[in-house]
Amino acid sequence: MAVADLTTSPVTSTYTKTSSRLHSSQLSLSSTRLSVHFSRSPRPIPRAQNFKITCSVNQVPAPVAVQTEEAKNKSECFGVFCQTYDLKAEEETKSWKKLINVAVSGAAGMISNHLLFKLASGEVFGPNQPVALKLLGSERSFQALEGVAMELEDSLYPLLREVSIGINPYEVFEDAEWALLIGAKPRGPGMERAGLLDINGQIFAEQGKALNAVASRNVKVIVVGNPCNTNALICLKNAPNIPAKNFHALTRLDENRAKCQLALKAGVFYDKVSNMTIWGNHSTTQVPDFLNARINGSPVKEVIKDHKWLEEEFTEKVQKRGGLLIQKWGRSSAASTAVSIADAMKSLVTPTPEGDWFSTGVYTNGNPYGIAQDIVFSMPCRSKGDGDYELVKDITFDEYLRKRIAKSEAELLAEKRCVAHLTGEGVAFCDLPEDTMLPGEM
């Protein structure tokens, strides 16, 4: 049976569809043509009078749909994904796992444009895992969001079973098991760093509240929108019913960048670089740890003898890679960010290879490294592949590493003071260090 809740359909123009993607196991009448016509009503109707229209392959096509501004606030299945089918029957024949709900904010943006197709293809969760994508956009990006959903339809991904779009996080995040929070405002000309923290912080406070209210109690949250560590802290503080441990700030892109630079210098392929930790903030204070990283299983400092290069050039190259990329592209990294989000997710859903680890920004409470409590800090983690992680214990520190880590820690503590009004910790006081920046700021 195909169901279309037409009171809330994101409708922009007349739209006709057929049920060509349905498998024979899904519908007994799969050859029956299903036409659904949507069009914008000239007259909005009040919510109280909204009606639900149910259509299926053995029913008459749905009549004209109406959409009010209020209705647009609801998350709504999109196009062919409004068809329903018997997934359980599929599970029996294909041993598919239970559908997984993945919410993505900033879904009409460049990063998502790369990421969504990876998620839909099975690259992240594997070939037996059907996926539902719940896409959050804004009023302004709504048409683009429809465009994204149309491209997902046209891609005919067998694992992609549901796509819904909306602009209200309380609707879109419902039952989300993963929330990839990508949407954020970029820093505009003349905008102070504190201003960016405040504007984006408000978005993440709201999204934290929404997750707290409607998402799965064990939702895994990856914050990508900058400044991602502090945005993740704001988000988790506003979601007290979700374990703080479940919130991540994306530093996997920095890890990947560091591996690439070490491989280049050592003259090896980048798959030979392992145990790469990024410590701290996703900013120019981040610390790519060459003390504990390995190349072909040996300590980096034994392979790369130019220690001055490691301390100065390598570190700065990684810290400022995002900015250099913006200079070249004229915009922030998108494809490599999407790849790193997929990598970060894969690291949580597959067991970490023996002896190795990965970096992710996580809540510091209980960390064994002496890093200040109650911030989100990138640290080395391992996972059993169950979505959870543990911090790696046997890490070596030297004075250089400690000093650098302390700088990033001080920056995050200052960011935290600056958003106290958004974390429920009183009055904000901004004393951000002047020499620290987002990777994209030059």
Residues with active-site annotation:
282
Query: Is the sign of the CA dihedral 241, 420, 191, 313 positive or negative?
Result: negative
* DSSP H helical ranges for 270-350: 300-303, 307-308, 315-319, 321-329, 335-349
Q: Is 172 helix (H, G, I), strand (E, B) or coil?
A: helix
Residue number with CB closer to ligand LMR (288 or 440): 440
Among 332, 378, 383, 408, binds ligand LMR (CB under 6 A): 332
* Closest distance of CB 224 from ligand LMR, Å: 8
Residue number with CB closer to ligand LMR (110 or 420): 110
Establish if 222 lies at the interface with ligand LMR (CB under 6 A).
no
Among 26, 164, 230, 333, binds ligand LMR (CB under 6 A): 333
Residue number with CB closer to ligand LMR (188 or 426): 188
Among 79, 166, 183, 322, binds ligand LMR (CB under 6 A): 322
* Closest distance of CB 53 from ligand LMR, Å: 43
Whose CA is closest to 332, among 321, 340, 322? 322
Question: In 142-199, at which residue ranges do the beta strands (DSSP E only) sit?
Answer: 160-166, 178-181
- Pairing type for strands 247-249 and 220-223 reads parallel
Lay out the site mask for ligand LMR across 289-318 (x = CB under 6 A, - = otherwise): ------------------------------
Q: What are phi and psi of 143, to 5 degrees?
A: -65, -40
Residue number with CB closer to ligand LMR (68 or 360): 360
* Closest distance of CB 22 from ligand LMR, Å: 40
> Both tokens of residue 171?
């609707």
Establish if 180 lies at the interface with ligand LMR (CB under 6 A).
no
Closest residue to ligand LMR using C-beta atoms: 440
Residues 248-287 that bind ligand LMR (CB under 6 A): 253
* Closest distance of CB 281 from ligand LMR, Å: 11
* Closest distance of CB 282 from ligand LMR, Å: 6
- Spell out a b/e string for 344-367, using b for 16 or more CB atoms within 10 Å of the CB, else e: bbbbbbeebeeeebbbbbbbbeee
* Closest distance of CB 328 from ligand LMR, Å: 11
> Both tokens of residue 276?
């790469």
Establish if 226 lies at the interface with ligand LMR (CB under 6 A).
yes
Establish if 234 lies at the interface with ligand LMR (CB under 6 A).
no
Whose CA is closest to 175, among 217, 204, 119? 217
* CA separation for the pair 381, 41 (Å, rounded): 52
Establish if 183 lies at the interface with ligand LMR (CB under 6 A).
no
Residue number with CB closer to ligand LMR (246 or 337): 337
Residue number with CB closer to ligand LMR (361 or 439): 439
Distances (CA, A) of 374 to 125, 234, 245: 31, 11, 11
Kindly state the number of chain residues that form the binding site for ligand LMR, as judged by CB under 6 A.
9
* Closest distance of CB 435 from ligand LMR, Å: 16
Binding segment toward ligand LMR, per CB under 6 A, in 83-91, 92-100, 120-128, 434-442: 434-442
Residue number with CB closer to ligand LMR (112 or 332): 332
Query: Is the sign of the CA dihedral 32, 101, 234, 401 positive or negative?
Result: negative
Where on the phi/psi map is residue 330: left (φ > 0), alpha (ψ -120 to 50), or beta? Answer: left
Q: Do 107 and 179 touch, CB atoms closer than 8 A?
A: no
> Both tokens of residue 411?
């920056």
- Pairing type for strands 178-181 and 247-249 reads unpaired
Establish if 62 lies at the interface with ligand LMR (CB under 6 A).
no
Whose CA is closest to 231, among 253, 202, 255? 202
Binding segment toward ligand LMR, per CB under 6 A, in 73-81, 305-313, 416-424, 432-440: 432-440
Establish if 438 lies at the interface with ligand LMR (CB under 6 A).
yes
Whose CA is closest to 62, among 31, 87, 83, 85? 83
Lay out the site mask for ligand LMR across 116-155 (x = CB under 6 A, - = otherwise): ----------------------------------------
Chain positions contacting ligand LMR, by CB under 6 A: 226, 253, 322, 325, 332-333, 438-440
